[in-house]
C-alpha cells in the first residue's frame, strides 16, 4: 500500500511539473503554448473533443492507428519542430519531408485531413494542423485507457517550409549509437531521461525486416549477428526474416505486445530483446540503462512519458505571428 501511494505521488509530481514547465516553453523558436488555447476562439465547437472523437473512432476500428499517429507527431517534431511540416505534399519543385526515406512508411495523414475538414467547417482558419497532430497523438495513445494520458498545450502555428533534405540529420535513426542519439535529442532541448522514455513509444507499432537485416546477418561485415542481441531472440528474428530479406515482412517492435501501450518494451529491452540498434544503445550507458530498468514500472513510465511528450511537443514551435494556420494541411496557404 505504501509503495502504491509513493508511486502515485511521484506520478502526480511529474505531471504537475510537466504541465507547469511547458507553459510558454519551446526550444529554439517557440513558446506561448497554453492549455485550452481554442476555448474562446472556437465557441461553436470543442476542438479537443472533436479531435478525440474522430481519433478514438479510428483507433477503435484499427488499433494499429495508435502507433501511426504517435509516430507522425514524433517525426514532425524532430524536423523543424512541431510545425506540421511533415504533412506538406511535394510540389513540382520541392521534395518535402514526407518523401524522405525515413518518412515514406509514415501514415495516418488521412485522419489529420478528416479532423481538419470538420474543424474548418465549424471554426474556419483557426486551428493549426500542428496542433491537430499533437492532440491526435495524445488521443491515439489515450484510447486504450479512456482518459488523457498527458496534457497537450496548444497554440502552435503551421510552418511554410518542408524539405526532404532536413530529415536525415535531424531524425534519430534505428541504427544510431547512444552518443548520436543523445546529441540529436540534446539539440531539441531533450535530455537523457527524455531519450530513454520516448524510446518507450516502441511499445506499440511495427517495423520491417529491412531495418534489422544488418543486425541479424552482417553486423560487423563478416556475416555475424549483433552480439548485444539475445541469441534466442536473434534466431526468432532470423526465422521471421530469412535471407534474402523480404522488405514487406512486418515485425512487432514490442514482441507479443505491439497493440498495447505499456512498459513491456523495457522488460524486453533489459532482456536484450530490443529490436533496433538504437534500442540496444540505451543499455550501453550506465545512466540510461538505470533509467530503462526503472521504467519497467508502468506507473513511473506513464508519468515520465507524459512529461517527455509535453517537452517534445514544445520543440521549436511557431506561435503568435510566426507561421500560419493552413486551410488544408497538405499545402501552404496561397
Q: Which residues are catalytic?
A: 75
Residue bearing cell 518535402? 96
CA 183, 102, 22, 27 torsion-angle sign: positive
- Cβ atoms of 252 and 274 closer than 8 Å: no
CA distances to 235, 278, 281, 284 from 220, in Å: 18, 16, 16, 17
Nearest CA-CA partner of 94 in 334, 329, 331, 333: 331
Using CB atoms within 10 Å of the CB of residue 332, give its burial: 0 to 12 exposed, 13 to 18 middle, 19+ buried. middle
Q: How far apart are CA 42 and CA 65, in angstroms?
A: 27
- Cβ atoms of 186 and 313 closer than 8 Å: no
CA distances to 78, 107, 142, 296 from 189, in Å: 11, 26, 25, 25
Main-chain phi, psi angles of 251, to 5 degrees: -135, 140
Q: How far apart are CA 273 and CA 142, in angstroms?
A: 26
Angle at 184 (CA atoms; ends 106, 10), nearest 5 degrees: 90
Residue 50 exposure: Cα atoms within 13 Å on the Cβ side: 25
Amino acid at each position: 500500500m505504501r509503495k502504491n501511494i509513493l508511486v502515485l505521488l511521484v506520478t502526480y509530481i511529474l505531471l504537475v511539473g510537466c504541465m507547469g514547465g511547458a507553459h510558454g516553453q519551446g526550444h529554439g523558436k517557440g513558446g506561448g503554448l497554453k492549455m485550452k488555447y481554442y476555448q474562446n476562439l472556437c465557441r461553436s465547437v470543442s476542438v479537443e473533443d472533436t479531435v478525440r472523437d474522430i481519433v478514438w473512432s479510428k483507433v477503435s476500428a484499427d488499433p494499429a492507428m495508435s502507433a501511426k499517429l504517435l509516430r507522425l507527431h514524433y517525426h514532425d517534431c524532430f524536423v523543424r519542430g512541431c510545425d506540421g511540416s511533415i504533412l506538406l505534399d511535394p510540389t513540382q519543385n520541392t521534395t518535402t519531408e514526407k518523401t524522405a526515406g525515413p518518412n515514406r512508411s509514415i501514415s495516418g495523414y488521412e485522419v489529420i485531413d478528416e479532423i481538419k475538414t470538420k474543424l474548418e467547417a465549424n471554426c474556419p482558419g483557426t486551428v493549426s494542423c500542428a496542433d491537430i497532430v499533437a492532440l491526435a497523438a495524445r488521443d491515439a495513445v489515450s484510447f486504450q485507457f479512456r482518459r488523457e494520458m498527458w496534457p497537450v498545450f496548444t497554440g502552435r502555428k503551421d510552418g511554410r517550409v518542408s524539405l526532404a533534405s532536413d530529415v536525415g540529420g535531424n531524425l534519430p535513426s534505428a541504427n544510431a549509437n547512444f552518443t548520436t542519439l543523445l546529441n540529436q535529442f540534446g539539440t531539441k532541448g531533450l535530455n537523457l531521461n527524455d531519450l530513454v522514455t520516448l524510446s518507450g513509444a516502441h511499445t506499440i507499432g511495427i517495423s520491417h525486416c529491412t531495418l534489422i537485416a544488418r543486425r541479424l546477418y552482417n553486423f560487423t561485415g563478416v556475416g555475424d549477428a549483433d552480439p548485444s542481441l539475445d541469441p534466442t531472440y536473434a534466431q526468432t528474428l532470423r526465422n521471421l526474416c530469412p535471407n534474402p530479406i523480404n522488405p514487406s515482412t512486418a515485425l512487432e517492435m514490442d514482441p507479443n505486445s505491439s497493440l498495447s501501450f505499456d512498459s513491456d518494451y523495457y522488460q524486453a529491452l533489459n532482456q536484450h530483446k530490443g529490436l533496433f540498434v538504437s534500442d540496444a544503445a540505451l543499455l550501453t550507458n550506465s545512466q540510461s540503462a538505470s533509467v530503462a530498468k526503472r521504467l519497467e514500472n508502468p506507473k513511473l513510465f506513464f508519468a515520465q512519458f507524459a512529461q517527455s511528450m509535453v517537452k517534445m511537443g514544445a520543440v521549436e514551435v511557431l506561435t503568435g505571428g510566426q507561421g500560419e494556420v493552413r486551410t488544408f494541411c497538405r499545402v501552404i496557404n496561397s
